[in-house]
Chains A and B, each alone.
Chain A
């Protein structure tokens, strides 16, 4: 069955370190998205991609970057982790026919 996976599921890091969160989907979807979820803020879009080599900034993109070298993967990089980036991160993918986004299980990131 097609799926979307994220790794690691939990990560603790220190302020200033670079962190990369992986997202891999086997749906063969063109569209991929990264969100963060914080109490009181709901789901906020960080970056998104509509295809290979395409990346776009979402509403809370500062301090994050993504790259899309193939259809299956959209890794999210925190260039220099900050305590404000402690959050739960969700990756999602969708096709262009239905717009329905399917979410990965999430990564809980703690920045100390």
Chain B
């Protein structure tokens, strides 16, 4: 069985602070994919990133960066210099190769105050 844990329920920061969202996963599969999605207050679910289990390179996209560590089964997400528009619920998800179904974490609500 696969499991994704996002231990942080809510995080509140002041604009321009950095914020890191933790994601820990469990799987017995050797090939799997990890995802992050953003759900802003408007409600839609927006795909942010996909990472396969063989690629442990960190990734940076603008103010967003992701740290994948297979040794600790973690796929953490950092927002640098946060902005009010970053306020959203962020979900981490996992699927095994060929499974196609996603196992979602419970989500972390990020509130960025001006």
Contact = CB atoms under 8 A, between A and B. Distances in A.
Interface stretch (B18-26, B68-76, B102-110): B102-110
B100 A105 contact: no
B55 interface: no
B25 to A, nearest CB: 15
Interface in B90-114: 91, 95, 97, 99-102, 104-107
B33 interface: yes
User: Considering residues B35, B97, B99, B101, which has the most beta carbons from chain A within 10 angstroms of its beta carbon?
Assistant: B101
Interface string B17-44: 0000000000000000101010000011
B60 interface: no
Chain A interface size, as a band, is 20 to 34
Interface in A81-98: 88, 90, 92, 94, 96, 98
A106 B45 CA distance: 9
A60 interface: no
Given A99-B33, A100-B50, A105 B43 contact: yes
Nearest to B46: A103
A19 interface: no
A42 B102 contact: no
9 contacts: A43-B102, A43-B104, A50-B100, A98-B50, A99-B33, A99-B50, A100-B47, A101-B35, A101-B102
Interface of A: 31, 33, 42-43, 45, 48, 50, 58, 88, 90, 92, 94, 96, 98-103, 105-106
Interface of B: 33, 35, 37, 43-47, 50, 91, 95, 97, 99-102, 104-107
- 10 nearest A-B residue pairs (beta carbon): A103-B45, A43-B104, A42-B106, A31-B100, A99-B33, A100-B50, A99-B95, A105-B44, A42-B104, A106-B43
